[in-house]
Chains A and B, each alone.
Chain A
Amino acid sequence: MSCESPMLELEGVQFGYTKAFINLRGINLSADKGKFIALMGPNGCGKTTLMRCVNCLLKIQEGSIDIEGEDVLAMTRKQVAKVCTTVPAEMPVEFSLLLKDFVSLGRAPISSGIWWDSDEDQKAIEDIMRAFGLLKYQDRRLSQLSSGERARALVAKGVVQEPKVMMVDEPSAHLDIKYKVQVMELLKEQAKNGITVIMASHDLNLVTRYCDEAMMIKDGVIYSYGDPNEIINEQSIKDVFGIDVTVVNVGGINYVVPRPPSESDSIRDPDSYRGERTWSPGGRS
């Protein structure tokens, strides 16, 4: 295993939006091909920032990011897009794009055609939309889709881009339990097909159920990194999120059950929960 470089490797990544405020410090990660890895932590802990760093949207100040042994920082935007993509949490529904047009946009960085989608593009789009159960809705406008369909469409757009690394930002945020499971199954399948999937998620129970590895981030540094069923425990949740939980084990998988607030006084005491910061990176509209 060691002779082959991992798919995605971060070493000592450091980034701050301003000089005075370091948002990420000393992030190391080594992800093999086909791994499904979760990033966890409170809002504002740096999950999204880390994803933006990997995608070169933000320029890291220290450390290195390699995809398949190649330095991402030295790549052009288009080269980055060929190896790595990000699936955002939401899609813009204005401007009447059709579902198929939306998904086909994912082909842009790798398509051979400047204007039309080539036959190869159409084939890839068709295959993936079929696999995702989206062909039926292909002629609908994005605004006419349900949340579940949108979540699948977003992942489908990421997959048609044929990335080596796919970063997914809170894919299950607005979904009911059925669609949550559906999206997780889809992501897991992509990982099996050889894409390294990095997912930011607040849904700890889905992480323990589906992910191969997990990283807990607190205040921009790694709190723990490893098997999700080992690193998600009562102590780590208390340390990172600042609340008391009960972790139960069902069939070898840890499930996090929150305790009523009366037992965890820290929720009422804002100082003990430092995860949430008022500062925001801006630029989100």
Chain B
Amino acid sequence: MKHESGPDITNKLHYDTKKRFLTVLAVGSVALLVIFVFSLTQGHYVMTFMEALDSLCGVITSCFTGEEWDTGEMVIYHLRMPRSISVILVGMGLAAAGTAMQAMIRNPLVDPYITGVSSGASFGVILVTLSGLFAFSALTIPVAAAIGAIAAFALTITMSEMVGGRAMAYVLSGTIIAAGLSAASTLVITFNSADYQSIMYWLFGTFAYQTWDNVYVMLCVLIPCFFVVIIAAKRLNMMLLGDENAQYLGLNTRQFKRLMMTIIAIITAMSVAYCGVIGFIGLIVPHLTRMLVGGDHRVLFPASMLVGAIVLLVADIFCKSVGTAGELPIGAIVSVVGIPFFFALLIKEGKHYVM
């Protein structure tokens, strides 16, 4: 092989997956931590960054020393920490769900929103809150969201596989199901117009009313889900090659798909249940991160989860601090801020990034 010779010959495998993983983890965590503390400074009661950091440390150390809290610590603990932590969890969740979904369906166009999962979850929530048919408890809403999400996703997948399972089939049937469910939601809302305002506010996505109870439920559900998704990174890499090729590599794709779909639906349902429908994070963040760190899910997953959390946290800070009368809807902010940024990166990296 004559053309192989030359001075620039590389004779070693640069196995740097581990290094890339650790770099992503280190840089991402530090960035996330800084933005997290910054997010704690924002609100009606104004603090500086150092004050917020100080209060946060105070809250943490008081767990061990049992010290009394001052006002800053009270505000941080009761008002701002639950909000910021749920923003982080939802950002991570939507990004992870989008990344997993894009790999599984091998379609860069899909996210929980497009495949009807978000609509299913929100329909479930609207149905139980407005119809008055169900007894109410703390878990009613997340459970309803999860059932709606899983049902909608199962329907999308079944329909698209029935018509041949091509990439476009998933987008089409997902869009149709999402449209149908949104229409059904609209009808349910119309018949219960008394609660219209609060429901619409939730539908556009908001983190305004988070409590520690919500955070605990989210933590309990999402952490195991994240764990499963991250462990599945290598299998998702195989799925990128297509169902048939994944099977050649020894993967039971049918079983794996079912597992991943359930996990994705549950993650999406959690964020919809507590924070409303937030589009774009699940679609844009995986792309953005893939352009930055490449397609290996072992690096891509932690990276996109961190980026998802950071993006959503920044958007939430913006919502908290800019809105004069009330808050801005975070879903809209994410789209408005995200799109130009995404395009800039696409123009720069797009040549190497085949979609």
- Residues of B with Cβ closer than 8 Å to A? 1, 4, 8-15, 17-18, 102-103, 106, 108, 164-167, 231, 233-235, 237-238, 240-245, 247-252, 290-291, 294-296, 298, 352-355
Closest residue on chain B to residue A84 by CB atoms = B248
Judge if A22 is at the interface, Cβ distance under 8 Å. Answer: no
Q: Is A78 an interface residue (CB 8 A)?
A: yes
Residue in B10, B18, B235, B295 whose CB lies within 8 Å of A101: B295
- Residues in chain A near residue B353, CB distance under 8 A: 96, 141, 143
Q: Which residues of B contact A88 (CB under 8 A)?
A: 242, 244-245, 248
- Is A130 among interface residues, defined by CB-CB distance under 8 A? yes
**B15 and A117 within 8 A (CB):** yes
Which residue of the partner chain, among A55, A96, A135, contacts B295 with CB atoms under 8 Å?
A: A96
Binding site for B on A (CB under 8 A): 52, 55, 57, 77-82, 85-86, 88, 91-98, 100-101, 105-106, 108-109, 114-117, 122, 125-126, 129-130, 133, 135-136, 138-139, 141, 143-144, 161, 182, 282-283, 285
Interchain residue pairs with CB less than 8 A apart (27): A57-B244, A78-B251, A81-B248, A82-B250, A85-B249, A86-B245, A88-B244, A92-B241, A95-B108, A96-B295, A96-B353, A97-B296, A101-B237, A108-B235, A108-B238, A108-B251, A109-B249, A109-B250, A114-B234, A117-B17, A125-B13, A141-B294, A141-B295, A141-B354, A143-B354, A283-B165, A285-B106
Least CB distance from B159 to A in Å reads 16
Asked whether, in the complex, the Cβ of A115 is within 8 Å of the Cβ of B234, the reply is: yes
User: A115 to B352, Cβ gap below 8 A?
Assistant: no
> Bound state CA distance, A93 and B353, in angstroms?
9
A176 → chain B, closest Cβ, in Å? 13
Contact of B251 among A77, A130, A133, A141 (CB under 8 A): A77
A96 and B352 in contact (CB under 8 A), knowing A80-B250, A108-B250? Answer: yes
| CB-contact partner of B167 in A55, A143, A282, A285, under 8 A | A285
CB–CB A100/B1 < 8 A: no
Contact B10 A138 (CB under 8 A): yes
Contact residue among B9, B12, B252, B298 (Cβ-Cβ distance under 8 Å from A77): B252
Residues of A within 8 A of B17 (CB): 101, 116-117
Tell me the bound Cα distance from A129 to B13 in angstroms: 8
Q: Which residues of A contact B237 (CB under 8 A)?
A: 97, 101, 105
A105 close to B241 (CB less than 8 A): yes
- By a CB distance below 8 angstroms, the chain B residues around A144 are 352
For A91, what are the chain B residues with a Cβ–Cβ distance below 8 Å? 241
Query: Other CB < 8 Å A-B pairs besides A93-B354, A98-B296, A105-B249, 14 of them?
Result: A57-B248, A77-B247, A77-B252, A86-B248, A92-B106, A94-B108, A100-B14, A129-B13, A138-B14, A141-B295, A143-B353, A182-B1, A283-B164, A285-B165
CB-nearest residue of chain A to B233 = A115
Whether the Cβ atoms of A94 and B165 lie closer than 8 Å is no
Chain B residues whose C-beta falls within 8 Å of the C-beta of A79 in the assembled complex: 250
**How far is B237's CA from A101's CA once the two chains are assembled, in angstroms?**
9
Complex CA–CA separation, A57 to B251 (angstroms): 11
Which residue of B has the minimal Cβ distance to A129?
A: B13
Query: Which residues of A sit under 8 angstroms from B354, Cβ to Cβ?
Result: 93-94, 96, 141, 143
Q: How far is the CB of A59 from chain B (nearest CB, A)?
A: 13
> Residues of B contacting A282 with CB < 8 Å?
164
CB-defined contacts of B166 to chain A, threshold 8 Å? 285
Task: Point out the residues of chain A lying under 8 angstroms from B9, CB to CB.
Answer: 135-136
> Which A residues touch B13, using CB under 8 A?
100, 122, 125-126, 129, 135, 138
